[in-house]
Each structure stands twice: as C-alpha cells, then as structure tokens.
C-alpha cells in the first residue's frame, strides 16, 4: 500500500479530513435541522396561500417549498421572495439565513483557530512524530478547549431553540416532539461530534514531547491519511510499544520507517543508542509526560 509519509502537505490533508471532521459533521447536522424547522414552519403558510390543490400536484408543491426554504436559508434577505413565488417573506420574517450564518461563523472561527495553530507548528508530513505530537498537544490547549466548549454550547442552544420554537410557535402543525423524532440522526450526530471535541483523549503512555519522538517517521498509508485519527494511532502505538517491551520488537519494527532503531527505543543499553531514553522512561513506568 502506498505510503503517505513522503508527501509534503499530507499533514494538512489529514488535519482537515480526520482531525477536524467533527466540525464538518456539526455544520451538516445544524444545516439539516435549520432547514427542517424552516420547512415545517412555512409549509402550512404555503398551503394556505395556495388555496388548495390536486393530490397529484401536492408532492411537487412540497418539493418546491422545500427548495425555496433552502434558498431562503442562504439568502441574506429578511424580505426574501423566491423566483417561483411559492416561498416569500414580504413581512421581513426570513430569519433562517440569520441562524444559518451564525452556524457558519461558529464553524469559521473553529477552522481559522485550528488552522492558525497548524501553520504555526510547520509539520508537513502526517506520518512524522512532530505532527502527531502537535495534534495531541492541541487537544489539551486552552484555545482548543475554549472553542470546543463554545461549539458544544452552540449545539445545545440550537437544539433547545429549535425544540421551543416548534413547541410554542408551530406546535399545531409540528410539535417539539415531532422536531426530535424528525431529526434523530442530525441531533445525535451534532451532539456526539461536538461533545467528543470537549473530551480530551487519554494521554499516550510514552513521552511524545521530546525531540526524539518528533523526529520519528511511522509507517502510515494513504488510507490512514483519510481515515485514521492520531488519537487512534496513539492507542495503537501504545499497545505496540508495550507489547514490544514485554515480548519482542517485531510489531514496533513494522510500525517504524526506521525499524533498526526499534530496540534502541525500548531497550537502550551501553551497547545501544541512548538517544531515545526519554521515550522509554514514559513507557516502562506508565508515566504521563
């Protein structure tokens, strides 16, 4: 399988696709919820304005309303009027775009903050120890924690606001319980994705802040670059190293781009390279760095 270690910029691809996927899940889920609430709120109004219609025409009319609400959600116009005239807010009540743009701003703040941290560390190969250590340190930084909790708080306000709006304003057509039942998967996805960002993963059971670890190259494939998180890799690497300490070096040798240094990593002695002793000390004693 092709190796991604030699591709400059592979760390940025991995950072966006894997380490930041929670923010994209949040955006898609929030957008789906806003669209659903807007559609359910406007459909009775559209049906009333149409004055009734044939059953065969109803389904296409509902699709037109849904598409019109979607366009209203991205148009920064309180008095939005759709081209086909099915969806229109002449009284200036199109607030869908406000909620949508608030979500976009929240997502943009998160992405800009994370990218600023990423470009500040200058690690361009996703299989190198310096990039792997960077993501582990980032998840424990004050910046990351603040933005993550802001994101989770926004999720709670969005869900509670949607529930109350449905229950109190359009409950005759679409109650709060209908809102929850109709958006089970988007609600679960945004709650899980944003809450998981606020919970830092367990510390790796080895020293990763030392220069010796940052200089290592690990065998990680192109598939790993788009699927495997660094947190999962930390757990896998911890198990591999601990197994090598107790049994043999083969698993660790298969993980490293320089398999000949495996023994030096876990069993430094007077005959072997001691440069990697900072890593070993964290492994053997299970000490947190």
Inside any domain, residue 88: yes
Q: Tell me if 112 is assigned to some domain.
A: yes
- Taking CB atoms within 8 Å and a gap of at least 24, the contacts of 196-202 are 196/22, 197/22, 197/23, 197/148, 197/151, 197/152, 198/145, 198/148, 198/149, 198/152, 200/139, 200/140, 200/145, 201/136, 201/139, 201/231, 201/234, 202/235
Residue 206 lies in a domain: no
Q: Do residues 85 and 44 share a domain?
A: yes
- Together in a domain, 236 and 183: no
Residue 289 lies in a domain: no
pLDDT one-digit tens code per residue, 137-196: 998 899 899 989 989 998 999 899 889 988 988 888 889 999 999 999 999 999 999 998
* 193 lies in the same domain as 223: no
Place of tokens 């190293």: 241
Number of domains forming the structure of the chain: 2
Final residue of a domain: which of 198, 228, 249? 198
Helix segments in 93-175, DSSP class H: 96-121, 129-138, 142-168
Question: 124 and 256: one domain?
Answer: no
Claim to verify: residue 104 and residue 231 sit in the same structural domain: no
Two structure tokens written together for 196: 């998981």
| Final residue in a domain of this structure, among 167, 198, 229 | 198
Q: Does residue 205 sit within a domain?
A: no
Same domain membership, residue 97 and residue 67: yes
The answer on 60 and 101 residing in a single domain is yes
Clarify whether residues 87 and 132 are in a common domain: yes
Answer yes or no: is 271 within a domain.
yes
Query: Whole domain around residue 252: which residue ranges?
Result: 211-284
Tell me the helices (H) and strands (E) count for the chain, helix number first.
14, 0
Same domain, 237 and 141: no
For residue 6, name the pLDDT band (cuts at 50, 70, 90).
low
Residue bearing tokens 């598409």: 67
Residues 14 and 40 grouped into a single domain: yes
Global pTM value: 0.80
Q: Residues 157, 274: one domain?
A: no
Q: CB burial class (10 A; 0-12, 13-18, 19+) of residue 282?
A: buried
Asked whether the predicted pLDDT for residue 197 surpasses 80, the reply is: yes
Q: Is 203 within a domain?
A: no
The answer as to whether 1 is a domain residue is no
Residue-wise pLDDT for 214-253, tens only, equals 888 888 888 899 999 999 988 888 777 766 655 555 666 6
Query: Which of 38, 171, 185 has the alpha carbon at shortest distance from 97?
Result: 38
Q: Indicate whether 189 and 244 sit together in one domain.
A: no
């Amino acid at each position: 399988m092709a190796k991604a270690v030699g591709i400059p910029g592979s760390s940025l691809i991995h950072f966006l696709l894997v380490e930041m996927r929670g923010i994209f899940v949040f955006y898609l889920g929030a957008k789906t919820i806003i669209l659903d609430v807007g559609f359910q709120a406007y459909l009775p109004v559209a049906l009333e304005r149409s004055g009734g219609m044939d059953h065969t025409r109803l389904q296409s009319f509902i699709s037109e309303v849904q598409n019109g609400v979607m366009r209203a959600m991205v148009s920064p116009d309180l008095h939005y009027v759709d081209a086909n005239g099915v969806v229109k807010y002449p009284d200036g009540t199109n607030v869908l775009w406000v909620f949508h743009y608030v979500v976009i701003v929240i997502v943009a703040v998160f992405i800009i903050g994370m990218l600023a941290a990423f470009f500040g560390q200058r690690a361009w190969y996703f299989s190198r120890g310096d990039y792997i250590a960077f993501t582990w340190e980032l998840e424990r930084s004050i910046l990351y924690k603040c933005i993550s909790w802001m994101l989770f708080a926004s999720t709670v306000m969005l869900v509670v606001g949607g529930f109350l709006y449905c229950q109190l304003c359009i409950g005759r057509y679409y109650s709060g319980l209908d809102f929850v039942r109709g958006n089970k998967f988007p609600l679960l996805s945004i709650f899980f994705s944003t809450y998981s960002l606020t919970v830092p993963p367990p510390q790796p059971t080895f020293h990763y802040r030392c220069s010796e670890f940052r200089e290592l190259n690990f065998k990680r494939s192109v598939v790993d670059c788009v699927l495997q998180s660094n947190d999962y890799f930390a757990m896998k690497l911890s198990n591999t190293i601990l197994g090598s300490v107790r049994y043999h070096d083969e698993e660790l040798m298969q993980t490293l781009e320089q398999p000949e240094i495996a023994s030096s990593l876990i069993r430094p002695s007077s005959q072997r390279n001691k440069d990697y002793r900072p890593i070993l000390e964290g492994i053997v004693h299970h000490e947190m760095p």
